[in-house]
Amino acid sequence: MINEIVLHGYIGRDPEITEHEGKNGPYKRCNFSLGVSRDYGDETDWFYCVMTGKRAEVIEKYFFKGSQIMVRGRMESYKPKNDPNRTAWLVVVTGFDFCDKSGSKPKDNVADTFDQVEEDVPF
């Protein structure tokens, strides 16, 4: 059986990084919403997306509200703390692609191109 989803859309709000404690120690998690238009843009479906690790930091740094992105991942269900009788869904992002030039610059404009970025980008 396969649980895989590929979405191409626009980030609905600036991605947020939060720090968590896991079995293997602390890790960072990036949360963002993704709007994907249906046929001819008449309706939009919204997906709650999460990503962990170094790539999460890349999303937080290079993407912002309105950026186009293509994500790959899997769907997972969970029970919201504030309404345990409801089942909600999220996309656990395992990979992504830049889709426009506006998403390829750091938010703080420290570097103009990837060649100028001196950190270890994991892709």
- pLDDT at res. 40: 76
Q: Residue 76 contacts by C-beta under 8 Å, 6 or more apart in sequence?
A: 89, 90, 91, 92
pTM of this structure? 0.76
Residue-wise pLDDT tens digits, 55-107: 999 999 999 999 999 999 999 999 988 998 999 999 999 999 998 765 455 55
Q: Where are the domains of the chain?
A: 5-106
Distances (CA, A) of 91 to 31, 77, 100: 10, 9, 21
CATH number of the domain at 5-106, please?
2.40.50.140
